[in-house]
Amino acid sequence: MSTQQAARTRFAPSPTGPMHIGNVRTALYSWLLAKRTGGKFILRLEDTDRERYSVEAEEGIKAALRWMGLTWDEGPEVGGPHAPYIQSERLPMYQEAADRLIAQGNAYRCYCTKERLDDMRAAQQAAKLPPGYDRTCRNLTPEQRAANEALGLKSVVRFAMPLEGSVTFEDAVRGEITFDSALLDDFVLLKSDGYPTYQLAAPFDDLEMEITHIIRGEEWISSATKNILVSRALGKEPPVYAHLPLILGPDKKKLSKRNGDAALSDFQAAGYMPEVLLNFLALLGWSEGTDQEIYSLEELSQKFSLDGITRHPAIFDSSKLDWMSGLAIRQMPLAELADRCIPFLQGAGLVPEPIPADQRPYVEAVLALEQERLKKLGEAPALTEFFFRDELNWEEKALKRVQAEGASEILADVADALDAAPEWTLESIEAAVRAVVDRRGVKAGEVIHPVRAAVTGRTVGPGLFDAIAVLGRDRTTKRLRRNAPA
């Protein structure tokens, strides 16, 4: 079984934008296959598009991988036997490879201008013909070439596609796939700026870096033919391809910033934890065949295999992610939850940074009350704000409760009762409030609801007595006695 040998997999993003949820899954699967087989996971930066390149994107990719624990065995910053791992630092190798392909007759220089190509494409489309390079430069005579060179014309290197025949390969997730090579045009290998295109750099590096499995998105499936042909022209058999089904947005289109928050940084900012995200993404397109749904990264790296990958695209639905995230939060030890939430509380200005040691028990007590309600860490500030600030963020319904007829008397009664409570424990607090209820001969809710509103500014939240116990006597009674906001 090919998945048993030590696999050398790679994640080869183009640093042109923020790390996307689909990229994360591709990286995850590659990482998992490497771990599973005791192989190596390689990070390679494909920064050959110098118009779209951005340093922030490059740093963002590395930071994202580290944040998720998907560290690379070879690649930028850590090096390795096939360094450098940044394509812009490997230019001479690609140029040499292109020269070799030209010498072998597998490629040729093309002097066509961008304008001519644009016109040609427009004409082809107008005539409803399949677009593609018309191969004018493929048949240039040596004299014509020499003349063009003498003129100093800019050129690109194009691959000379076989004019007939087909390419068949065995995709690890989809089985046999065949493409008619005559349908493909003479694509560009080397651009006029001397940089290689993906079609040259990727297969060249995959061979050079001894990659055994190429795991990438389905949108690359038609490139496989080109990649295989280039690999063979370079003198080697290509690695195993595994094309992953796409992740779609709710609109069934390829997930993008357009149809949802698909950037990893958004999920990070919202307070989804990396292990949850990875667990969720692992299952979005892969199944072990059992009913298990909660996996640790460690467990996944023991169980992952290419044959469990699904063939159909998956729609990204965050409601299940929320469930998974909330579950992880509920199962988390309180101290850990506090560690993870404090940065968010600090970000909202609710807790000082660094947090004073004596304030930590209070934060933990607060979080213990909201733990079962938290779906993601980023919700912590909104849910706990009233524990940290006396100026409440009034919810409209809560405001109505406090402004209701007779509410202020009830609140004053409860404040008095709490002041008179012999001690500040859950039991005595409850007893004090219940006493007010009994004295007034009303239903408990008629006292509890306005009190909750006055103390928290909200109509939902933790048990009232628990909240009051943590909040403290002074803050509670002060809030009960102040006049309802207008």
Partner RNA sequence: GGGGCGUUGGAGUAGCGGUUAACUCGUCACUCUUUCACAGUGAAGAUCACGGGUUCGAAUCCCGUACGCCCUACCA
Given the structure tokens 């591709």, which residue do they identify?
Answer: 26
Least distance (Å) between residue 83 CB and RNA: 19
Interface pick for RNA out of 162, 445, 472, 485 (rule CB under 7 A) = 445
Least distance (Å) between residue 358 CB and RNA: 28
Options 219-227, 349-357, 401-409, 470-478: segment touching RNA (CB under 7 A) = 219-227
- Of 382 and 460, CB closest to RNA: 460
Question: Measured between alpha carbons, how far is residue 443 from residues 330, 436, 449, 459 in Å?
Answer: 32, 10, 10, 17
Going by the DSSP 8-state scheme, the letter that residue 34 receives in this structure is: H
- Of 103 and 127, CB closest to RNA: 127
- Of 315 and 335, CB closest to RNA: 315
How far apart are alpha carbons 408 and 450 in whole angstroms? 9
- Of 241 and 344, CB closest to RNA: 241
- Of 14 and 476, CB closest to RNA: 14
Annotated catalytic residue, options 257, 320, 443, 478: 257
Contact between 168 and RNA per CB under 7 A: no
Options 91-99, 142-150, 306-314, 387-395: segment touching RNA (CB under 7 A) = 306-314
Least distance (Å) between residue 366 CB and RNA: 14
The terminus-to-terminus CA distance of the chain in angstroms comes to: 73
Contact between 156 and RNA per CB under 7 A: yes
Q: What are phi and psi of 286, to 5 degrees?
A: -150, 145
Interface with RNA in residues 380-439 (CB under 7 A)? none
Interface with RNA in residues 5-24 (CB under 7 A)? 12-14, 16
Going by the DSSP 8-state scheme, the letter that residue 430 receives in this structure is: H
Contact between 179 and RNA per CB under 7 A: yes
Closest CA to 181 of 192, 168, 193: 168
Given the structure tokens 């740093």, which residue do they identify?
Answer: 59
**10 Å Cβ neighbour count for 114?**
10
Given the structure tokens 């990727």, which residue do they identify?
Answer: 202
Contact between 64 and RNA per CB under 7 A: no
- Of 180 and 353, CB closest to RNA: 180
77: left (phi over 0), alpha (psi -120 to 50) or beta: left
Least distance (Å) between residue 105 CB and RNA: 21
Interface pick for RNA out of 30, 223, 384, 476 (rule CB under 7 A) = 223
Interface with RNA in residues 99-138 (CB under 7 A)? 112-114, 117, 121, 128, 130-133
Least distance (Å) between residue 25 CB and RNA: 10
Q: Give the burial class of 338: count Cβ atoms within 10 A of its Cβ; 0-12 exposed, 13-18 middle, 19 or more buried.
A: buried
Contact between 38 and RNA per CB under 7 A: no
How far apart are alpha carbons 417 and 330 in whole angstroms? 34
Q: What are phi and psi of 92, to 5 degrees?
A: -60, -35
How far apart are alpha carbons 160 and 229 in whole angstroms? 10
Interface pick for RNA out of 22, 76, 203, 326 (rule CB under 7 A) = 326
Pairing of strands 156-159, 188-190: antiparallel
Contact between 348 and RNA per CB under 7 A: no
In DSSP terms, 171 is beta-bridged to 175, 241
- Residue 28 tokens read as 């995850």
Interface with RNA in residues 454-473 (CB under 7 A)? 459-466
Q: Known catalytic residue: 257?
A: yes
Least distance (Å) between residue 356 CB and RNA: 29
Going by the DSSP 8-state scheme, the letter that residue 266 receives in this structure is: H
Closest CA to 107 of 189, 181, 163, 165: 189
Instruction: Give me the 184-203 binding string for RNA, x by CB under 7 A, dash otherwise.
Output: -x-xx--xxx-x-xxx--x-
Least distance (Å) between residue 13 CB and RNA: 7
Interface pick for RNA out of 46, 74, 275, 413 (rule CB under 7 A) = 46
3-state secondary structure of 214: strand
Instruction: Give me the 260-299 binding string for RNA, x by CB under 7 A, dash otherwise.
Output: -----------------------xxxxx-x-x-x------
Q: What are phi and psi of 244, to 5 degrees?
A: -80, 140
Element containing residue 9 per DSSP (H, E): strand 8-11
Least distance (Å) between residue 108 CB and RNA: 14
Number of chain residues interacting with RNA (CB under 7 A): 88
Which are the catalytic amino acids?
257
